[in-house]
Structure formats: C-alpha cells, structure tokens
Structure 1
Amino acid sequence: MGKPLQLTCNSGANPAATHTWYKDNQTLPRGSKDIYLFASITLADKGNYHCESKNKYGQINSTSVHIDVQYAPKLLSVSMSPSAEIEEGSSVTLNCSSDANPAAKYTWYKKNEDSPKASGQIFTITDFRAEHSGNYSCEAQNKLGRSNSTSIHLTVVAGSMKLVAAGSVTAVSVGIMILIAFLVIRRKRSSKPTAEAERETRQ
C-alpha cells in the first residue's frame, strides 16, 4: 500500500484499438489509453481489473487481474465477556480484533510482566482470582508491521455464592443466639413456681 502500480493492455489490433478499463465490471473514468497507472495504491484500489480492446472490426476483453492491497494491522480493539464485573472463581474471555491484510497473529500481555500471557485472538482465564487482576493488552502482527491495543482492566469481586453463604452463616448464628436466650428465659420462668412452692411448704 502506498506504492505505484501500472497495468498494461496489449491487443495487437490493426487498426490500433482503443481501450476501456474496468474494476469489478464497472467502467473506470480514465480515458482509453492502454496503460492504467496507480500513483499510490490505497485500500480502495483493491479489486478485479480487466481491459476491453476495440476497433471497427470488433472487440475483445482481457483476462482479469486481482489487486490485493496488503497493509499492517490497524484499528485494534479488545472486548471481554462477560462485560460486567468478574466474580472470583468464574471465567473471563478476552477477544482481540484488528483490520489487517494478511491476517494478523495475536499475542496477549499483562502490564508489568515481560513474558506473554497467551497467543491467539481469544484469551480465556478460567477460575479467575485476585492475582489475575490487572491491565491486559494485545499485539497484532503480520509481515508488514505490528500494532498494540489500548489496555483493558480486569478486577475480581466476591462471588455471589460466597455472599449468600456468608449471609446464611450470619442468619444461623443469630438464630442460635435467639434460641439460647429463649431457653434461658423459659428456664428462669419455670423455676420461679417451684421456688415459691418450696417456701410455702416450709411455712
């Protein structure tokens, strides 16, 4: 991408032929010359090209040539699933995408760590723990260059099941305390008539 390119149409006609150029079967508005010149190839120039040669005796179409515009990775983006807070012990999946030709290869990094965490477009962390929290980014690379994404921050929160369990333990503890208090009060009340009866018998 960014380099010049020239297409040439040869027909060997007599009288000399005029030429019409086509991209993806659509006429190109550059006259009837036998040379089609790209001053600087861009992504928009990708497609299939052919020429048509014509004189008063007839016309003929050339075979088609495909222009494949290649470029380094760009427009990197990182997404995560689930997109909400990550519960401790659950799994989280990161996905890195880019616009590249040829297709890019992906490498995952965690901030402040030198070694890559994973390779491939998708990175899954199972059994997410506190030590997994941090900033993650991906690098996309092909033979024409490389590009890095912005980082995405992952942080762990207490699992809902643990919160439910903690609430259950608290409820059970409170229930036991209430039961003990009830039994103590009941014992005191039941002991009063017995004490009074003993006093009356002594009198």
Structure 2
Amino acid sequence: MSQRPAPSLLLLFLLMIPGVCSQWSGWGVRYSPSHICALKDSSVIMSCTYKYPTGHQIKRVFWTKTRVINNVDFPDLSKDPEYSQRLQYLGDKQQNCTIRLSHVTLKDSRVYYFRFITNITGRKWIGVPGVTLTVTDLQVESPERVTEGDSVRLTCKSSCNLTDRATFIWYRNSQPLTTGIIGNQLNLGRISREDTGRYSCGVDGHSYRSPAVQLNIRYPPENPVISISPSGEIVSGDSVTLICSSDSNPPAEISWYKGRTFVGSGRIYSISKISSDDSGEYKCRSINEHGEKYSDAVTLNVTYPPRNVSVSIIQSGQIWSGGSVTLICSSDSNPPALNFSWFKENESSAVGSGQSFSALQSGRFYCQAHNQHGSQRSDAVTVTVHHGAGMNVIVIAATSGGLFFIIIIIIILIIIILFIMRKRRDGQTKKQISDPNEDTYTALDLKSTTSDLYDTLTTVHPRAPEDSCRTLDPQSFSKHENPSINRKMLQ
C-alpha cells in the first residue's frame, strides 16, 4: 500500500526526486479491508494500523473524508455534525487507528482516510488510497406475474456483496418463514392463493428489513356468494340490494341472472320498490381471465297484500224454492289470504266469513280478503230472487257486466219461466180430456138412459174409447129414440 507525505506541494515535489523518498520509508497506514460493503443502519468497523519513524511522537490523529482542500488541513470527522454522534475511535493513538461508524446510511458511502501528525514540524501523513465504504439496502426481486400453480423464486438483493458473512431471513406479512430459504433466495414451489402476501427480507443480527413486496397470485373466481340486504321478510315496495362476493385475482367481472335471464352487472344489484314480478331465483356469475364460477341461487320471495279480489259463482240457472247460491272469494296475495269477510252493500256489519258464502236473499254482496300485509275488497255481485208459480228462481248477475247482458239474461229467464208455466197448463188440460173416469162410464146404464142424456154425453165426448164401445150391447141401441146416433157410435 502506498503512503504519501502530506500536504505541502514542495514535499510532494521532493518525493518525486530520486533519493528523497528514502527519508520517508518509515511512514505508512494499512487498512483491512480496504473495501467494505455494509448493510444500511448497521455498524461498520474500519480496521486500521499506522507507522512512523523512530524519534517522532504522535501529536494528533483523526479520520477525514477529504484528501486535498487547497493546501488547507483536512477536516476531522469527529467534529462533523453528521458523524460526531456516530463515530468512535477504537485505536491507541500509537499504532492502532481503528474506528466504528454506527447507523450507516446510504449517504455514508464514500472513501475515508486516516491522518496523523507528529511533533516534528512538517511531518504529517495521510493514508491513501483509504477505505472505500459502500452502504447498501435490501430489495426483494419477484416475478411480475404469478399464476396459481407456478413455481416461484424470490431473491433478496443488495447493491454489493456484504463484507460480513450474512444469514438471510425472510418474512411474509411480518411473520418469519422457516422453509424454502437457500442463501439469499426463497423458493415457494407450486404456489397457491394462500401464498399471497407481502414479502420482505433481512439479515440475521440486523434490525434492518427490506421494503415489502406484494406477491400477487392470480387465480380464477372461487365460491361467489350472494349477503341479501335487508335480510328477513321482503315486502312489496321495499328496496332490496343483492351483493355478490367473489374471491378472485384479478378482480372478477360480475353478472346477475334471474333464472336464465341477464338482469344486470356489477358487484351490487339493487331493486327499488320491489314487486311480486321480481320474485324468483337469482345467481351471480364471477369471471376473470383464468375462469368463471356461478354462485348458488338465492330466492327472492316478495310478500304483498291481497289484490285482484273477485267473487265467482259456483252454480247458475234456476234455484228452486228453499235453495241458495254459493259465492266464492278469490284473491292474489303472498302469503295466501286466510281470512275472508262478506258484506251486503249499505250494511256495516259482516254477513258472513270464510272463502265461500251462501246467499239466500236478494242484494248486492262483496267479499274482503285479508293477510298480515293488508286487505282488499272485491266488486259487488247482484243476487236477485224471483218468485214464480210454486217456486223461487234466483238470478245472479255480476255488476261488472254491462246492463245489456243483465237484460238479456232476465228476458231469457222470463221466457223459460213462461214456457214452463204454459207446459204445465197444457199438461193439466190434456190429462182432463184424454183420461176420463172409467168408473163413471161403467156406472152408466145406456139402456135405461133417455135420449137427452145420451145426446149430452156424446156432445161432451164426441168419440169414446174403443174399449168402451165394445162393452155396449148393440141391441140396446135399437130401442133408442135416435137410431142414427146409435149407428154413428158403433162405427
């Protein structure tokens, strides 16, 4: 290692003259090592020894970071505010010039020199080429793109090879790892999404750690799930939000389906003022470049009060005296209506309950259906009782039908009634004519009757039944006063 006497240009010139160097042969500074690579925030030992000719005494020793400043003496690091609190002289000021520099930073990277001054005027010495200090940090090098199932290797890198033998430590999410460490590398093998995290490295015995690097493991969507808000019963008119949660990397695109029909996209699907038409099964589909997955179906069961309440009639046509007509109340509701009330118009009190009602009198009747969400009434129907001969006929017409329809029904029913009454009268008349009392004819003795009586009988009964004629004695007609009538009856 070369040594150079200090700072006078004359001395430097004299060193170049042959024979002058011999008088400086007893001077020297030795550094071990001359190049140091230290980890950021660590402490550095700069080992140093020096010598000088016999007869000299050491007057002053110090370390500096500057070689020449225009023939001005070199600054002492121990008096520099950036170093004074971190620099410790470990030498004996005789031959050992070792120092310790603590908490080194990247700005401390430079060349440092030891300088000493003896008691003989002009005898100053600076050790060149000095100690080169390089301060390094640590950086984790990782692949830019990692897919589940890949084999991955992380490297803890520094700008120089650390002088001290280093044992590297690896951390995931600040927790130390114990497997897969080979030197300054971490081998993860076939990775899965569980290996996702922030990785950093350090050196055993040092508190410094590298900045953490996020290992982004890409994988297809897994187990999309639908959390319905609000939970519990959904009533018509509510606002409902469906949220699809999906584990994937990169984040998946979300699509919504009702049955097989696409209804929206995005992680959140909202329905304002929900109605019964929105009831059904919903699924979300989660998809990214690595695959897709459907969630399990969730069912939206929208409850609502009764609607479309109506009255239907079981029987139609003629209702005989003492009969009744049954009215049925129907409604659309969820849950189904279980309570039904029947009312007669212009009456405040209910006239019946239950889904069916038997009407026995004329009037306009309607029903009201109830569930826990509300109630609704139907349109009224008209029940009219017509009194006929020996019977009652009940005619029902829905008020929602037109007046023309009602009139037509009434006319048809009147015609039917008149036809039935006429048939009954004709039947009674025919019975009186065709069914004479046989006992009466048998009791008559034609031989003893007068001609006036016989004439009367033939007038009322122009033609006797054949059987009756056979029973008469032809001899008796010969004695009758009117033989022409006798012959006519015998024909």
Partner of 1:189: 452
Q: Please tell me whether residue 133 in structure 1 is matched to residue 362 in structure 2.
A: yes
- Any idea what SS the aligned residue of 1:54 has? strand
SS of residue in 2 equivalent to 1:95: strand
SS state at 2:277 partner:
helix
Q: How many residues align?
A: 174
Q: CA deviation at 1:115?
A: 4.0
Map of 1:19 onto structure 2: 254
Shift of 1:43: 2.5
Instruction: Give the secondary structure class of the aligned counterpart of 1:44.
Output: helix
Q: Is the 8 A contact 1:87 1:160 kept in 2?
A: no
TM-score, normalised on structure 2?
0.32
The TM-score with structure 1 as length reference comes to 0.71
Give the equivalent residue in structure 1 for 2:345: 111
Quickly say closer, same or farther: Cα 1:57–1:190, change in 2 above 3 A: closer
1:142-161 per-position Cα deviation (integer Å, ceiling 9, x unaligned)? 11111111221212234676
Q: 1:15 to 1:187 in 2, by over 3 A?
A: farther
Does 2:290 align with 1:94? no
* Residue 83 to residue 35, structure 1, CA distance change in 2 (3 Å): same
- Give the gaps of 5 or more residues in structure 1: 180-185, 192-203
Q: Partner of 2:386 in structure 1?
A: 157
Of the three residues 282, 307, 322, the one matched with 1:74 is: 307
Change (3 A) 1:160 1:76: farther
Which of residues 362, 369, 374 is equivalent to 1:145? 374
Distance change (3 Å), C-alpha of 1:160 and 1:56:
farther
Change (3 A) 1:101 1:27: same
In the TM superposition, residue 64 of structure 1 has moved relative to its aligned partner by: 1.0
Name the residue aligned to 1:52: 285
Q: Which has the larger radius of gyration?
A: 2
Structure 1 counterpart SS, 2:273: coil
Q: Work out which structure has the larger RCO, using CA pairs closer than 8 Å and 6 or more positions apart in sequence.
A: 1
Structure 1 residue 96: Cα displacement: 1.2
Query: Bigger shift: 74-83 or 17-26?
Result: 74-83
**C-alpha offsets along residues 133-177 of structure 1, whole Å, 9 cap, x if unaligned?**
22211001111111111221212234676487xx57x948x95xx
Tell me the SS of whatever aligns to 2:248: coil
Pair 1:160–1:74, CA change in 2 (3 A): farther
Kept after mapping to 2: 8 A contact 1:107/1:116: yes
Measured in 2, the distance between the counterparts of 1:119 and 1:135 equals 16
Q: Which amino acid in the other structure matches residue 24 of structure 1? A: G
- Identity across aligned pairs (percent)? 36
Which has the larger helix fraction?
A: 1
DSSP-derived class of the 2:379 partner: coil
Q: What amino acid maps onto 2:382 in structure 1?
A: H
Alpha carbons 1:4, 1:37 under 8 Å: kept? yes
Moved more, 3-12 or 50-59: 50-59
Matches of 2:428 and 2:258 in 1, distance apart?
Answer: 75
Which residue in 1 is equivalent to 2:356? Answer: 122
Structure 2 unaligned blocks of 5 or more: 1-235, 392-419, 437-448, 455-491
Residue 183 of structure 1 corresponds to none
Structure 1 residue 89 displacement after superposition: 1.8
Residues 32-43 of structure 1: pairs in structure 2 closer than 5 A? 33-43=266-276
